[in-house]
Amino acid sequence: MSIVNHQVRLAARPVGMPRRSDWTFTTSPLPEPGDGEVVVKVLFLSLDPAMRGWMNEGKSYIPPVGLGEVMRAGGVGRVIASRAPGIVVGDCVTGLLGIQEYAVAKGRDVVKVDPKLAPLPSYLGVLGMTGMTAYFGLLDVGAPKASETVVVSAAAGAVGSVVGQIARIKGCRAIGIAGAADKCAHVVDELGFDAAVDYKSQDVRKALRAHCPKGIDIYFDNVGGDILDACLANLARRARVVICGAISQYNSTTAVKGPSNYLSLLVNRARMEGFVVFDYADRYAQAAREMAGWMAQGKLKSREDIVAGLDTFPETLLKLFKGENLGKLVLKVADE
Ligand SMILES: NC(=O)c1ccc[n+]([C@@H]2O[C@H](COP(=O)([O-])OP(=O)(O)OC[C@H]3O[C@@H](n4cnc5c(N)ncnc54)[C@H](OP(=O)(O)O)[C@@H]3O)[C@@H](O)[C@H]2O)c1
């Protein structure tokens, strides 16, 4: 193969919002696959708020991306060469492919997907990591019961939009919090949430009190900060606060803003629990089957926000932090 691979590497650890100068664009010849390896032509890449954390030095649930390394990213692509058992040229696979045009991966580190069952980008959204996050975070950590009230922040995003829809499937009331009137309209009118609060134009604490007269049974937190505090102020007895993420804090150059209303946990005999989706990897296939079933029945909608061009990566990633995405943010690298 005489293919040149274009790659995006981490050049500097950002302070605050990542800048274009934090990345380098490099080219390198694509190697032949070794024994047990595949070469994948990357088609779509998943852009995730967690990438901001992976750019920082320090201990986390996964090691940071090293300076000079290709930026880590989940993706879906087509196999163009294989020396791995059970995988042939033409197969579509997902895995940690990285921000690049081609990825060399171990066959055991990628998973085959069927483009006839669902469009490829949905394997990065509802049927991918963010869908799994919504599924296990809500059902395993939140443990909803019918008629309970579930509140979710970043409700129009990849994880939040699925949390609210699964809450409805389980017979709960779903209230979304999002940062724009059109996002609020989308989650109610298109996704079937019961109500939504625009945190940029409304008093969240007051609006939640009105929408949740018996209190919040489950708060699925994607954002942290002031919105977490507003939700803590409105908990029902025995509420569960699911700590999924805290995007409002990821680019902060000062200490993370913790909740000041935490004694609401005591008063309401409530609990707050964090989780990492990767811990559920052995159950992804079963969850994806159930979610695909809900999609086929029209109960669960998948929406991807697709931006084309590897070279747009530095700016496209920032859409997550500026609230410019509706649904799962995906970078299209090449035509199928
Ligand atoms: N625990 C896990 O295993 C796990 C796995 C995957 C994702 N996550 C977390 O889940 C959360 C959602 O991820 P996602 O991939 O679904 O992203 P997303 O919701 O599709 O996109 C991020 C959204 O966050 C909102 N946002 C950005 N800055 C904000 C701020 N300062 N205050 C409030 N909202 C803000 C924006 O929506 P608005 O326009 O509404 O502000 C933006 O569209 C993130 O915190 C992520 O780290 C956790």
Q: What digits encode the pLDDT tens for the residues 218-228?
A: 999 999 999 99
Atom 27 (ligand 1): residue with closest C-alpha? 321
Closest atom of ligand 1 relative to the 325 alpha carbon: 43
How many angstroms does the Cα of residue 256 sit away from the middle of ligand 1? 16
Averaged pLDDT, 162-189: 98
Tell me how many degrees the CA angle 24-16-252 measures, rounded to the nearest 5. Answer: 150
Q: Check if the beta carbon of residue 247 is closer than 8 Å to that of residue 49.
A: yes
How many angstroms does the Cα of residue 282 sit away from the middle of ligand 1? 24
Q: Check if the beta carbon of residue 280 is closer than 8 Å to that of residue 136.
A: yes
Averaged pLDDT, 67-76: 98
Three-class HEC string of the chain: CCCEEEEEEECCCCCCCCCHHHEEEEEEECCCCCCCEEEEEEEEEECCCHHHHHCCCCCCCCCCCCCCCECCCEEEEEEEEECCCCCCCCCEEEEECCCECEEEEEHHHCEEECCCCCCHHHHCCCCCHHHHHHHHHHHHHHCCCCCCEEEEECCCEHHHHHHHHHHHHCCCEEEEEECCHHHHHHHHHHCCCCEEEECCCCCHHHHHHHHCCCCEEEEEECCCHHHHHHHHCCEEEEEEEEECCCHHHCCCCCCCCCCCCCHHHHHCCCEEEECCHHHHHHHHHHHHHHHHHHHHCCCCCCCEEEEECHHHHHHHHHHHHHCCCCEEEEEECCCC
Mean pLDDT over each residue of the chain, to the nearest integer: 97
26: Cβ–Cβ under 8 A, 6 or more apart, which residues?
6, 7, 8, 9
Q: What digits encode the pLDDT tens for the residues 271-316?
A: 999 999 999 999 999 999 999 999 999 999 999 999 999 999 999 9
> Does the pLDDT of residue 80 top 80, yes or no?
yes
How many angstroms does the Cα of residue 245 sit away from the middle of ligand 1? 7
In which band, very low, low, confident or very high, does the pLDDT at 1 lie, cut at 50, 70 and 90?
Answer: low
Averaged pLDDT, 162-173: 98
Q: What digits encode the pLDDT tens for the residues 115-162?
A: 999 999 999 999 999 999 999 999 999 999 999 999 999 999 999 999
Instruction: Check residue 149 and give its pLDDT.
Output: 98
Residues with CB under 6 A from ligand 1: 48-50, 130, 133, 154, 156-160, 178-180, 183, 222-223, 244-248, 275-277, 320-321, 323, 325, 329
In which band, very low, low, confident or very high, does the pLDDT at 172 lie, cut at 50, 70 and 90?
Answer: very high
